Amino acid sequence: MALREKLHDGVQPFLEPGETVTTVFPAQTGPNPWLFGAFGMLLMLFGTQFRVVVVTDRSIVLLKAGAMSAARPREVVKRSPLESVDFDGTVWGKVHVAGERHWVHRRFRNDVLAASFAG
């Protein structure tokens, strides 16, 4: 099963009844991921929080996830109204969701672009 399908299945328990997923993608907060090369695991352990961003037909839901298990979110961090989501960057794109800056890998750029049309 592909990661996108695992993410889609993993977020279902955190949605309201009747709510449908438009797009879902993993993201992380904290410093720019390019700094991992300079500071390594220390920066990752203390400065990064992993999220799953779920855009539904009703709202945007931020879910807390682990570094090694993004496909199994743990809890709802924030639920906010639908808004436009833009991908700004090359390999690691900067995305502002629900008032927080997140970093999303280029692999999920199309998912972010799909979210920008949902809002």
The pLDDT score that the predictor gives to residue 42 is 65
Between the alpha carbon of residue 80 and those of residues 39, 57, 92, the distances in Å are 33, 12, 24
At 35, is the pLDDT very low, low, confident or very high (cuts 50, 70, 90)?
Answer: low
The pLDDT score that the predictor gives to residue 45 is 65
User: The pTM is what?
Assistant: 0.85
Domains annotated on the chain, with CATH: 3-118 (2.30.29)
Listed residue (40, 37, 44, 31) closest to 101, CA to CA: 31
Per-residue pLDDT averaged across 111-118, rounded? 76
At 43, is the pLDDT very low, low, confident or very high (cuts 50, 70, 90)?
Answer: low
Q: Above 60 in pLDDT, residue 118? A: no
Task: Please provide the average confidence, as pLDDT, over all residues in the chain.
Answer: 84
Distance CA 34, CA 83 (A): 27
Q: Above 60 in pLDDT, residue 51? A: yes
pLDDT tens figures, 52-80: 999 999 999 999 998 777 778 999 999 98
Percent above pLDDT 70 for the chain: 86
Per-residue pLDDT averaged across 81-101, rounded? 82
Between the alpha carbon of residue 1 and those of residues 4, 5, 82, 94, 115, the distances in Å are 8, 6, 29, 27, 22
Q: Residue 29: which residues within 8 A CB-CB, separation 6 or more?
A: 48, 49, 51, 100, 101, 102, 103
